[in-house]
Each structure stands twice: as structure tokens, then as C-alpha cells.
Amino acid sequence: MDNPHHRHIRSFVLRQGHLSDAQSRALEAGLPRWGIAYQPTPLDLDAAFGRSAPKVLEIGFGMGGATADIAAARPDTDFLGIEVHGPGVGNLLKLIDEKQLSNLRLIRHDAVEVVDHMLAPDSLDGFHLYFPDPWPKKRHHKRRLVQPAFVAKIVSRLKPGAYIHMATDWEDYAIQMLDVLNAEPALRNSVDGFAPRPDWRPLTKFEQRGLRLGHGVWDLLFIKR
């Protein structure tokens, strides 16, 4: 029997969801071209993208709409997206084809294992985490992705001067994120407290609806010292 102390707590539940025909076709055609298979060895990011350019990691891109928009608006930057859910991966692959994007690569695997084994120290210029699962019940807070050990792991993969950008629409999670990021000695806050939404992060339909209903959204922007 496995020792439970040797297994990390997963921050996601694997909900496969229903793949549309278009998403299925995109997975079949797009993964061989834009996907990167998980491997327990360091990834050569420049080779994976076919060029030398700033590299930004995003964990949990959902259906990929915002990710595709960001990649389209920042063609001089390469974006590596990690997501476990098939419909989201398929949808972003479809958007890559529709928008003719060449600066996106996707890994369908547990993000913690990818960061642990595939990303070298000081290899990233930025990190995005948008609207992660808030695990709202207090007994589930330990499943939240933003914890001190995880942030330290991400920071170790960032170059000096690289940024961390997070956003959430759960206020208590936003406060936890701010506390965890403030407590990481290798980071400094770019502002005093929460940050204005940067121009590069588009408003999602879900977010626009929440704002109309008076719900808050909190952005955090930290820089590695």
C-alpha cells in the first residue's frame, strides 16, 4: 500500500466532460503538432517552440479562450499551457488552428509533476494562474493550488525579474494568495496589495457576468527578485 505522505494532494478533480466533435478532431490533429508529451526529464523549451523567446507558463487554462487571446496579442512571447481536462485541451487546440497561433504548446498532465520534472530552474519569464479551483469548503482548502511549497517551486523555475500573475473571483482565496506570495522571500509585490488587471489578461465571459452582478475579481502581480 502506498504511503499517503509520499503523494501530493491534487488540486483538481479529473472530470473528463463531453468532447464535442470539433474538440475531438482538434485533439487528434492538433496534439501531435502543438502538444508535448509528459516526460520525467527536463524539457528544452527553445527546441519545443523552435525559437529563443520569453517563455511563460500557464497552469489550468480551462477552455483556453483567454490563453489564445493572450498568445495572439503577444506574438513575441511563447506560452506553455498545462491542463488535464480533455474538452479544454481540445478547445484550445481548435483555437490555435483558427487563430493560426505558433507560440502555444500544451501539456495534458498533472502540473505539479510537469513543474517538478520537465522545467529547469531559472527557465521561465512569467507564470499565469487564472481562476483556479477555489475549493470553497474550509476542509478542502488544503487542495488549493496556491500554497507556500507550490509557490516556492514555481519561483525556483523563474528567472530573476520574471513575474507571477494570478487572478481569482473568490475573496478569501485572493487573501490567501496575497499572504502566500508576500511570505515568499524571493518575490516582491509590484504594487501595494492587489494589482489592477494587466492589459494582457482579457475579461472572460464568466468574469464579465460576475462583474455585472457585482462580484469582485482580484489580480496579483509579483516579481522575482
| Positions marked catalytic | 133
94 is in an annotated binding site: no
Q: How far is CA 131 from the centre of its chain?
A: 9
| Cβ contact 117:43 at 8 Å | no
Maximum pairwise Cα distance, the chain: 50
206 is in an annotated binding site: yes
DSSP letters for 123-155: -EEEEEEES-----SGGGGGG-S--HHHHHHHH
C-alpha cell at 62: 480551462
28 is in an annotated binding site: no
169 is in an annotated binding site: yes
171 is in an annotated binding site: no
133 is in an annotated binding site: yes
Question: b/e map of 20-53 (b: 16 or more CB within 10 Å)?
Answer: eeebeebbeebbeebebeeeeeebebeeebeeeb
83 is in an annotated binding site: yes
CA pair distance 128, 61, nearest whole angstrom:
9
Which residue, 56, 207, 53, is CA-closest to 125? 56
58 is in an annotated binding site: yes
205 is in an annotated binding site: yes
Find residue 223's DSSP bridge partners. Answer: 163, 188
Please enumerate, by residue number, every residue annotated as part of a binding site for substrate.
137, 169, 204-207
Please enumerate, by residue number, every residue annotated as part of a binding site.
58, 83, 110, 133, 137, 169, 204-207
Please enumerate, by residue number, every residue annotated as part of a binding site for S-adenosyl-L-methionine.
58, 83, 110, 133
